[in-house]
């Protein structure tokens, strides 16, 4: 409530500035103002002219005058309570901050800053009804401040009161329909409520009323609304109109703003919207290196979002593509650690579930072409490994029915094809060695020769050990 020029030792109150008594009537206040305004030249002494006007604006408004008179009576108390409330709020003691700040409202019910801080404190406490109550009281008095309308709408949305949020936004339009900042916030909230048509219509009707710089911001928001609503017709209409106006003025606004919007969508993780926008921009900005790179990146992340929910793609491949797309966010140690884990998982998959991995790779090549093309070499390598593993598993099924091969050799191959812990593997391997020792050397060598001749893929599972068995 402090004012410039008051408390500096020369002028202490608005009344003294207008040279009137504190019990002056509205008629006397008006007469004093016009007398002083004729004596003070706006051109010669602009600062003093503005100070006189400020005092008159306070004292000629009955509500403001009442608040000001209360401040004169309780000014020191109010200042102390306000400082205490702000300190408590900053310290996170929101309940005590509310209690102290409410004392100010008992003195000056229309005090703006204390009530706003009370609303913010209630919001911190998650008490949305009380937050809304105090914001609405601010709106009733200080309706020229667009911030209160936006904050109230956000609070209503958090409290799942969509109709109230829409109502307060529409009410704000009656006071701020020409306020670009308000309109942009209005559109963000409408998009959050999926009221895309209402947001688009309002902005599109007003785009021509703004300056060239402001138009660029509005077109950027219109592009965002259109692409989020998946409305290709609206998007094409906005892009064409924006592009045409930029061409007329020979500016780069279309290129800069549209790419900025696409990057904004990408950075927020809305890869589908970023992908569709970059696709539409292709006809307006052909052979644009930055656009083409962004289009490719958006497509890759958009495809990955879809892949995550695809039930027929094995987890190992999903983890690989997650690592491929997001490993740059990890520190070097964590990146190496995750890389080892990812490739261990891929190895286990092609060894023990090759058919599932083969199907997954084929699905990726068909449904997710951007990712498939970017990692084509690796996918082909694992596809070949899958084919080899499938051949191995096929030969194993045939081996199980081959009576020429002794049972310990069959068990040995089965162990090589089993995904078991190392301790278990060692235990079973020792059992198999014991069983082999009970067989004749001739039977062992003959069985190994059959495997080497007719089941080469199985023999190659451990050629060194099989060679030892052949050599006695």
Q: Give me the phi and psi of 466, to 5 degrees please.
A: -60, -40
Q: What angle do CA 371, 376, 381 make, to 5 degrees?
A: 130
List all residues 6 or more positions away from 242 whose beta carbon is below 8 Å from its beta carbon.
219, 222, 223, 253, 254, 257, 258
Instruction: Report pLDDT for 78.
Output: 80
pLDDT, one tens digit per residue, over 113-135 is 999 999 999 999 999 999 999 99
Instruction: Assess whether pLDDT exceeds 80 at residue 25.
Output: yes
DSSP 60: T
Q: Mean of the pLDDT values across residues 85-108?
A: 92
Closest by Cα among 442, 420, 444 to 433? 444
Q: Mean of the pLDDT values across residues 430-454?
A: 93
Instruction: Report pLDDT for 42.
Output: 63
User: By CB neighbour count within 10 A (0-12 exposed, 13-18 middle, 19+ buried), where does 47 fall?
Assistant: exposed
DSSP 329: G
Instruction: Report pLDDT for 264.
Output: 93
Q: Mean of the pLDDT values across residues 345-359?
A: 93
What does pLDDT average to over the chain?
90
Instruction: Assess whether pLDDT exceeds 90 at residue 200.
Output: yes
Residue 11, strand partner residues = 6
Closest by Cα among 277, 273, 279, 281 to 301? 273
pLDDT, one tens digit per residue, over 133-172 is 999 999 998 999 999 999 999 999 999 999 999 999 999 9
In the structure encoding, which two tokens stand for residue 326, read together? Answer: 């997001």
pLDDT band at 463 (very low <50, low <70, confident <90, very high): very high
In the structure encoding, which two tokens stand for residue 423, read together? Answer: 């301790």
Share of residues in the chain with pLDDT > 90 (%): 72
pLDDT, one tens digit per residue, over 376-434 is 999 999 999 999 999 998 999 999 899 999 999 999 999 988 888 889 989 999 999 99
Q: Mean of the pLDDT values across residues 278-283?
A: 93
Which DSSP string do the residues of 108-147 spell out, in sequence order?
-TT-HHHHHHHHHHHHHTT-HHHHHHHHHHHHHH-TT-HH
Q: Give me the phi and psi of 5, to 5 degrees please.
A: 90, -5
Instruction: Report pLDDT for 174.
Output: 93
Instruction: Report pLDDT for 5.
Output: 37
pLDDT band at 9 (very low <50, low <70, confident <90, very high): very low
Instruction: Report pLDDT for 226.
Output: 95
pLDDT band at 41 (very low <50, low <70, confident <90, very high): low
Q: Residue ranges of the domains in the chain?
A: 310-394, 402-472
C-alpha to C-alpha distance for 466 and 452, rounded to whole angstroms: 9
pLDDT band at 44 (very low <50, low <70, confident <90, very high): low
Q: Mean of the pLDDT values across residues 1-26?
A: 67
pLDDT band at 22 (very low <50, low <70, confident <90, very high): confident
In the structure encoding, which two tokens stand for residue 316, read together? Answer: 């190992």
In the structure encoding, which two tokens stand for residue 35, read together? Answer: 């007398």
pLDDT band at 326 (very low <50, low <70, confident <90, very high): very high
Other Cβ atoms less than 10 A from the Cβ of 266: the count is 20
Instruction: Assess whether pLDDT exceeds 80 at residue 94.
Output: yes
Share of residues in the chain with pLDDT > 70 (%): 96
In the structure encoding, which two tokens stand for residue 269, read together? Answer: 């993780």
């Amino acid at each position: 409530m402090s004012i410039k020029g008051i408390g500096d030792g020369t002028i202490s109150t608005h009344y003294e500035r207008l040279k009137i008594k504190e019990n002056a009537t509205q008629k006397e206040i008006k007469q004093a103002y016009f007398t002083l305004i004729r004596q003070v030249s706006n051109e010669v002494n602009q600062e003093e002219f503005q100070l006189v006007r400020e005092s008159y604006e306070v004292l000629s408004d009955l509500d403001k005058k009442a608040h000001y008179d209360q401040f004169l009576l309780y000014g020191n108390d109010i200042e102390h309570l306000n400082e205490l409330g702000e300190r408590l709020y900053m310290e996170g003691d929101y309940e005590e901050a509310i209690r102290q700040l409410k004392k100010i409202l008992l003195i000056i019910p229309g005090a703006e800053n204390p009530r706003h801080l009370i609303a913010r404190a209630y919001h911190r406490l998650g008490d949305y009804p009380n937050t809304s109550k105090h914001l609405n009281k601010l709106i009733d008095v200080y309706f020229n401040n667009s911030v209160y309308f936006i904050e109230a709408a956000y609070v209503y949305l958090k409290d799942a009161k969509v109709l109230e949020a829409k109502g307060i936004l529409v009410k704000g339009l009656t006071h701020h329909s020409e306020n670009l900042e308000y309109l942009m916030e209005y559109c963000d909230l409408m998009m959050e409520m999926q009221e895309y048509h209402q947001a688009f219509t309002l902005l599109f009707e007003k785009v021509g009323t703004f300056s060239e710089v402001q138009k660029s911001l509005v077109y950027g928001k219109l592009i965002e609304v259109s692409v989020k609503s998946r409305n290709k017709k609206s998007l094409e209409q906005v892009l064409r109109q924006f592009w045409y106006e930029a061409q007329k003025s020979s500016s780069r606004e279309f290129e800069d703003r549209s790419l900025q919007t696409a990057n904004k969508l990408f950075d927020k993780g809305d890869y589908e919207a970023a992908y569709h926008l970059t696709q539409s921009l292709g006809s307006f900005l052909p052979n644009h290196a930055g656009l083409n790179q962004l289009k490719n990146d958006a497509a890759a992340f958009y495809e990955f979002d879809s892949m995550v929910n695809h039930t027929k793609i094995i987890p190992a491949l999903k983890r690989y593509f997650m690592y491929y797309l997001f490993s740059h966010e990890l520190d070097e140690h964590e990146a190496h650690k995750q890389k080892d884990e990812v490739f261990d998982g891929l190895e286990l998959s092609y060894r023990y579930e090759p058919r599932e991995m083969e199907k997954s790779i084929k699905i990726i090549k068909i449904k997710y072409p951007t990712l498939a093309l970017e990692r084509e070499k690796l996918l082909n390598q694992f596809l070949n490994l899958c084919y080899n593993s499938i051949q191995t598993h096929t030969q194993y099924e045939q081996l199980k029915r081959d009576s020429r091969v002794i049972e310990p050799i069959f068990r040995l191959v089965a162990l090589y094809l089993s995904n078991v812990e190392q301790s278990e593997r060692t235990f079973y391997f020792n059992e198999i060695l014991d069983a082999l020792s009970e067989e004749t050397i001739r039977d062992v060598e003959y069985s190994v020769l059959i495997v080497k001749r007719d089941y080469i893929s199985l023999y190659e599972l451990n050629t060194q050990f099989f060679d030892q068995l052949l050599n006695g």
